[in-house]
Copies of this chain bind each other. A is one copy, B any other.
Amino acid sequence: MRRKSMTSVELARLAGVSSATVSRAFAAGSSMKPATRARILALADEHGFRPNAMARVLNNSQSRLVALVVNTVANPAEAEGLDQLIMRLQEQERLPLVLRCADHEDRNRLMRIASTYQVDHVVLYSDAVSIDDAIAIFHSAVPIIASSEPLAGRDVSDVRLDARAATVEVVSHLVAQGRRRFVYLCGRASSHVDKQRRGWFSAALEAHGLAFDIVEHGDYSYDSGYKEAALLLRRTRPDAVICANDLMAIGVKDAAAALGFAVPTDLAIVGHDGVALASWDSHAITTIAPRPGVVSAALADIIDEPNDAPPVRRVIECMVRWGRSTGDLPRS
């Protein structure tokens, strides 16, 4: 087994042409007699010949590989977006190289290894690595598309979310229900996305002359939502919790149920990200998120742009997806 596969020179000999012609037969744009191309492709098919991508990359520098830097694939919020993105990339004949950075002692080592494979693009999907580290390691050789940190003039494209309006919408609804004791549950307090969400929430509350508590010990997991809510509900008595993501929101909901708090009567719960399971019957969490697939589409579009195009900055508006966790739907 592991038999060496055929090379373009061998195929060329079989077809009675030169290896250059074989190469051209596989290059879409090059001009050649259709009959010759057809003959070569048929022969290639027959003998199972496929051009070696390594050799191709070696002299074009177009690997069609995209490094996707994520925290973990296990978290639905990342996984669902990633799934869409991978699908799009594959439609572009690109292949994703997944760098899973959570729990990884040295994320930079991982990026260094990946950079070795001449990836055309890097998508910093999670905020697990710093943009500056990424720039240093891929030494500006490949466009980096971030969706987290602020960019401050760095030569990098990005796609980010705007949930200002959606947050105002949710908060107004909750205030109209008479809720006054708000809490924000962080995922990772130092994360930029987290800070933004907190900021929008804070602004929306201030418009009503209200303040809020912050719980900083979350980690985006169901368990941390559950644990923090259990502590919180025994101590202060909030009547609305906004969570940095949906998983924690569900944890909060389960903790509330276990402690005998009624949702949404006693406690309203809001999540972020709009993962599929948030709208399952048993959860029905109100969540703030972009329309599904929009972020991945934007990322894929940017990637498909010519390499010398200037960096792109896209902002995507979030929506509210109402669930039962915030009580009756607003009029509208």
Given A3-B139, A50-B115, A79-B74, are A280 and B93 neighbors across the interface (CB < 8 Å)?
no
Stretch of A9-17, A106-114, A180-188 with 4 or more beta carbons under 8 angstroms from chain B = A106-114
Binding stretch for chain B, among A55-63, A209-217, A265-273: A55-63
Query: In the assembly, what is the distance between CA of A226 and CA of B277, in Å?
Result: 13
Query: Are B282 and A283 in contact, with the CB atoms below 8 A?
Result: yes
Chain B proximity mask over A130-166: 1 for CB below 8 Å, otherwise 0: 0000001001111000000000000100000000000
The chain B residue with its CB closest to the CB of A279 is B222
Residues of B contacting A86 in the complex (Cβ-Cβ under 8 angstroms)? 73, 98, 100
Neighbouring B residues of A118 by C-beta, 8 Å: 52-54
Q: A76 at interface (Cβ–Cβ under 8 A)?
A: yes
Interface check A95, CB cutoff 8 A: yes
Known A-B contacts A50-B115, A74-B83, A141-B5; the reply to A96 vs B97 at CB < 8 A is: yes
* Separation of A63 and B53 alpha carbons in the complex (Å): 11
Give the shortest distance, in Å, between A82 (CB) and chain B (any CB).
5
In the complex where A155-B1, A222-B280 touch, is A90 in contact with B116 (Cβ < 8 A)? Answer: no
Interface 1/0 per residue, A45-85 and B, CB below 8 Å = 00010111111011000010100000011101001101100
Question: For residue A222, which residues in chain B have a CB less than 8 angstroms away from its CB?
Answer: 276-277, 280
In the complex, A112→B115 CA distance in Å? 24
Asked whether B257 lies within 8 Å of A116 as measured between CB atoms, the reply is no
Report if A288 contacts B (CB, 8 A).
no
State which of B5, B73, B96, B141 has its C-beta within 8 Å of the C-beta of A2. Answer: B141
Candidates B72, B117, B142; contact of A54 at CB < 8 Å? B117
Residue of B whose beta carbon sits closest to that of A50 = B116
Contact of A198 with B by CB under 8 A: no
Indicate if A321 sits at the interface (CB-CB under 8 A). no
Separation of A109 and B60 alpha carbons in the complex (Å):
22
A250 to B280, CA, bound (A): 9
Does A197 lie at the interface of the complex (its beta carbon under 8 Å from any beta carbon of B)?
Answer: no
Cross-chain contact B307 with A282 (CB below 8 angstroms): no
Q: Are A142 and B2 in contact (CB under 8 A)?
A: yes
Do the beta carbons of A1 and B93 come within 8 Å of each other?
Answer: no
Interface mask (A217-246 → B, CB under 8 Å = 1, otherwise 0):
000001000100000000000000000000
CB distance A139 to B53 under 8 Å?
no
Taking CB as reference atom, which chain B residue is nearest A55? B58
Query: Which residue of the partner chain, among B5, B87, B282, B308, contacts A282 with CB atoms under 8 Å?
Result: B282
- The answer for the CA separation of A86 and B53 in the assembled complex, in Å, is 23
Q: How far is B110's CA from A136's CA once the two chains are assembled, in angstroms? A: 32
**Docked CA distance A74–B257 (Å):** 28
List residues of A whose CB falls within 8 A of some B CB: 1-3, 5, 48, 50-55, 57-58, 63, 65, 72-74, 76, 79-80, 82-83, 86-87, 90, 93, 95-100, 103-104, 110, 112-118, 136, 139-142, 155, 222, 226, 250-251, 253-255, 257-258, 276-277, 280-283, 307-308
CB<8 Å pairs between A and B, sample of 6: A54-B57, A73-B79, A73-B82, A74-B79, A76-B76, A87-B100
